[in-house]
């Protein structure tokens, strides 16, 4: 089991759950939380050097919220792709294994469950920035002989989420909605693969602590409509009126199950 683990993004929703998972699943490990600005290479290099010899790096840090990414795409690329490159540059000479948290947004919508071998054709800036991070990590780690696992995270939710994520956006609307009125919902009929942030973090940590390499979908493998997800959270029956175009992002989790077993988080 890894003796010294360096984790980025530990202050985020998934990161906080990952710290709890590490305390349970790797109780003897020393966990070092990154505090450096990953867009600053000298600062990142200094932080990694100060950490000393590392066995495992869990890279969760990312710029995710759609509104922020669309408002400042340059920053999104700098954080998601550039930050990954800087972290790997800082690790030059270290044999540490890496778990890179990526996203289902590298895929295009498909009617069938999406396997890791599916074509990557992101349609958003966020997806493009995460795919760039993946490609850089694959090439840099291959050149360095570094073990790399890429966990492509599908739709997550958590009670502590805020901002423009789906769950807090819905909960805010529920608080203000008239139960008797129509509830307009964009993409209501689209299928998603929802997973709690706690379970997602545990899967990522278990993958990190394994010897799995390459891309692994991190999801439930259970399709749920956006409308069904909304209703599962709503405090009253929703009279949903679908709006806009619906698309599907559901994972084939065969590889995740093969690596981790039945995947009971």
pLDDT at residue 164 in the model: 84
Q: Which domain holds residue 232?
A: 166-190+225-243
Answer whether residue 2 shows pLDDT above 60.
Answer: no
Number of H helices, E strands in the chain: 10, 12
- Total structural domains within the chain: 2
Answer whether residue 28 shows pLDDT above 60.
Answer: yes
Q: Over the stretch 54-112, which tens digit does the pLDDT of each residue have?
A: 999 999 999 988 778 888 999 999 999 999 999 999 999 999 999 999 999 999 999 99
172 and 138 housed in the same domain: no
Question: Rounded CA gap, 77 and 45, in Å?
Answer: 19
- pTM of the entire structure? 0.95
Answer whether residue 1 shows pLDDT above 60.
Answer: no
Q: Over the stretch 189-235, which tens digit does the pLDDT of each residue have?
A: 999 999 999 999 999 999 999 999 999 999 999 999 999 999 999 99
pLDDT at residue 64 in the model: 86
CATH number for the domain harbouring residue 140 = 3.40.50.720
110 and 170 housed in the same domain: no
Q: Buried b / exposed e across 127-137, counting CB within 10 Å, b at 16+?
A: bbbbbbbbebb
Answer whether residue 264 shows pLDDT above 70.
Answer: no
Q: What is the overall mean pLDDT for the chain?
A: 95
87 and 114 housed in the same domain: yes
pLDDT at residue 263 in the model: 62
Active site residues: 126
Q: Are 165 and 153 in contact (CB under 8 A)?
A: no
């Amino acid at each position: 089991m890894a003796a010294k683990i360096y984790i980025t993004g530990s202050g985020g929703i998934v990161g906080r759950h990952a710290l709890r998972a590490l305390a349970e699943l790797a109780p003897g490990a020393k966990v070092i939380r990154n505090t450096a600005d990953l867009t600053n290479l000298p600062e990142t290099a200094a932080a990694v050097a100060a950490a000393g010899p590392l066995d495992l790096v869990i890279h969760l840090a990312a710029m995710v919220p759609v509104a922020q990414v669309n408002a400042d795409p340059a920053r999104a690329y700098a954080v998601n792709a550039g930050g990954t490159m800087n972290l790997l540059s800082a690790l030059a000479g270290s044999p540490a294994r890496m778990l890179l948290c990526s996203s289902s947004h590298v895929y295009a919508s498909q009617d069938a469950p999406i396997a890791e071998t599916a074509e990557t054709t992101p349609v958003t800036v966020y997806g493009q920035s995460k795919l760039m991070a993946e490609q850089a990590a694959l090439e840099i780690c291959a050149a360095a002989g570094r073990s790399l696992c890429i966990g492509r995270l599908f739709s997550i939710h958590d009670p502590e989420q805020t901002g423009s994520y789906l769950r807090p956006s819905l909960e805010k609307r529920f608080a203000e909605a008239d139960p008797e009125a129509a509830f307009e919902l964009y993409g209501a009929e689209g299928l998603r693969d929802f997973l709690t942030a706690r379970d997602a973090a545990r899967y990522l940590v278990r993958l990190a602590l394994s010897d799995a390499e390459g891309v692994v979908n991190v999801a439930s493998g259970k399709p749920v409509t956006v409308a069904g997800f909304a209703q599962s959270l709503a405090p009253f029956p929703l009279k949903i009126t679908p709006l806009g175009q619906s698309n599907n992002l559901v994972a084939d989790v065969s590889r995740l199950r093969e690596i981790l077993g039945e995947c009971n988080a």
